[in-house]
Amino acid sequence: MNLWHSFPRFKINAISVAGPVTELPHLLASPRCHPLIQGSTAMNWDKLSIAELEKHVREHNERYFVKNKPVISDYDFDQLVEALRKKSPKSKVLQELGSDVSGERVEIRHAVPMLSLDKCYDDETLDDWASKFKGDVVVSPKIDGCAVAMQYDAHGNLSVAATRGTGTVGEDITENVRFIKDIPQKIALKNVEVRGEIYMPLSVFARYKSDFANPRNLAAGAIKQKDPEKTGAYTLKFWGYELLNAGAKTETEKRTLLKKNQFQVVETKCVAHDKLHSVFQYFLDKRDQYDFETDGVVYRIDSVSEQERVGSTAHHPRFAIAYKYQGDSAKTKLEEVEWSVSRTGIITPVGIVKPVELSGATITRVSLHHAAMVKKWKLGIGSEVVVMRRGGVIPHLETVVTKGKHPVPIPRKCPSCGAPVEMRDDFLYCTNPKGCLKTKLGELSHFVKTIDCDGFGEKILEQLYLSELVVDAADLYALTVDELLPLERMGKTLAEKLVRNIQAKRDLPLAIFLQALGIPELAQHTAAILAKMGTMDRIMKVTEDELLAIHSIGPSIAKSVVHGLHEHKELIHRLLKQIKIVAAPKAASHKLNDKSFLFTGALEHMERKRAQELVAQHGGVNASGVSKTLDYLVVGDGGGAGSKLTKAEKLVAEGAPLRILSESAFLKLIGDK
């Protein structure tokens, strides 16, 4: 039942409000679902009847906007809607698209409908759209967040906020948005409506990704928390892009007014028709630099009078269009599955696929997520699959188009040590992690990388472990040159260097020490939080309830950290006999936001030590080598980058989220040039 017809309502300029109802419960994680551009499922929507199409549109619309649990890609959904539009352009179902109204909150009616955007996937369609009007176009990234409308009253106070909902009717989230710092509670403008996108930064989402599928789903649940104050704990952000009733004559003027009234406005370019293609490439090139999900570019006529002239359909405005990014996905064949063992004992499947081009890189290896997904998909060698590489994210299998003839077997024994395996929830585990070579090597490698100790590569660590010189991280500090010399390819110079390097790492900041332990879920962010407790004695006594009281720590993290500290008690005791906990140097700024940096080649503007100091001063982390977890490789302007650059370029080609910067670009990034 539509509660809008059941309660009295009152109108506030562009928004009207219905009576109270119960609130929407918190939304949990859903399967990850991304837009597919090249290739998709085998479904042919054109063969379905109007009734069947309407049924599918309603089902998938509700799954995405209400339940936040999509099961098909954005691209498939667009094709489904287009099939219905062709067969029945006046279908009432088309007017329901985009609704996040659950019927469990106060309903808000938009006097000016919040229509969804029309979409295109090629230059030809974009050019056809642009041929229907004159004048400049405002262009900005398409943010994958939650659209909202906010009403400011005659005194400039925030009075009502609503979700997009059906486009005509949304849900009241007024009290929730009061706890989003990006949204001003009072502005100089009077009787206006501000529209924009609430989103979760990717850097914030990193804290929750083990419990939630993607930033949008988490943001959608966060803005509908029963306790509005809890919304603030999610560190949500807001980009403004629309201003109604302010008398602005252009989109450019609207965004200038928004900035003057303390709203954040996403990067925007105002261009002529001959620049429409180049500006798309500009935003595509910058995609990996943004701290938010973006899956395309939005074009909007700059002139408001020209917007009014071209008008809108019942479904979308004619004065705007979203050009979705291409090359994010493609069909290929699964040729093999490899199983790797992590330092925590998780046995993870990796798909070897027939080489395919994605976003300018040749992809041959893709993540298959976990063992449960292999079962669910009924994967087989020869399966036709859709793989995706979105932005800088590691390529992964998105969906299975056809099943292969030979099902992929789930290992019964650990591929490293041969111990029996067991399923825990969705993951396959080695039952002998303390005696598994790959797990132990992973732990040691994690320790030396985290404390930034050079020289201890996988081959050396394997020799140290197999020769029983090093059983755990504490043994590293007891190594001598004489003990190292008998190892394969170990000369006196290298042995002395290794001993010197590890001895130089006896003074460790508490956060680094905690992270180096390799406890599941005790990553950089959580380690920094625990370090604020001051001492290891205090940290060893922390309880799950204490951790759960910290807004960025969820149940799974709290449980894992407390259990891990107990399991590592003996190692911690042994390490504290070898190292000294010291105060961490304070960052002068947070421009680099805990990103990791590595320098290679000849630096022209500074010495390498000074470059590393600048990273630390601006809140970054200096890495010890090129790896998939490295954020930035900085190449000196003097040339001579060598093998590090070659390895980094290879990782980028394989899909690693690693960026390569010039020395000059690095200085510009930190504001020193």
Residues with a known catalytic role: 142
Phi, psi of 189 (to 5 degrees): -70, 145
* Paired tokens of 118: 């029309």
Q: Give residue 133's identity as a one-letter amino acid code.
A: F
**Secondary structure of 468-505 in HEC code, one letter for each residue:** CCCCCHHHHHHCCHHHHCCCCCCCHHHHHHHHHHHHCC
Let me know: does 207 contact 525? Beta carbons within 8 Å: yes
| Interacting residues of 149 by C-beta distance below 8 A, sequence separation 6+ | 14, 15, 108, 110, 114, 161, 162, 164, 170, 193, 194, 195
Let me know: does 543 contact 533? Beta carbons within 8 Å: no
CA–CA distance, 218 with 234 (Å, rounded to integer): 9
Please report, for the chain, how many H helices and E strands are present, in that order. Answer: 24, 28
Identify the residue whose tokens are 């006529």.
301
Identify the residue whose tokens are 């590691």.
394
Strands 596-600 and 507-509: unpaired
With 0-12 CB in 10 A as exposed, 13-18 as middle and 19+ as buried, what is 407? middle
Integer-rounded Cα Rg, in Å, for the chain is 27
CA–CA distance, 153 with 172 (Å, rounded to integer): 16
Question: What's the angle, vertex CA 511, arms to CA 507 and CA 514, rounded to 5?
Answer: 90
Question: What's the angle, vertex CA 507, arms to CA 503 and CA 509, rounded to 5?
Answer: 140
Cross-strand partners of 502 = none
Phi, psi of 218 (to 5 degrees): -70, -40
Q: In what order do the strands lie in the sheet with 146-152?
A: 158-163, 146-152, 192-199, 237-244
CA–CA distance, 170 with 163 (Å, rounded to integer): 5
* Paired tokens of 249: 């004559």
Give the residue from 576, 116, 503 showing the smallest Cα distance to 317.
116
Question: What's the angle, vertex CA 275, arms to CA 274 and CA 280, rounded to 5?
Answer: 135
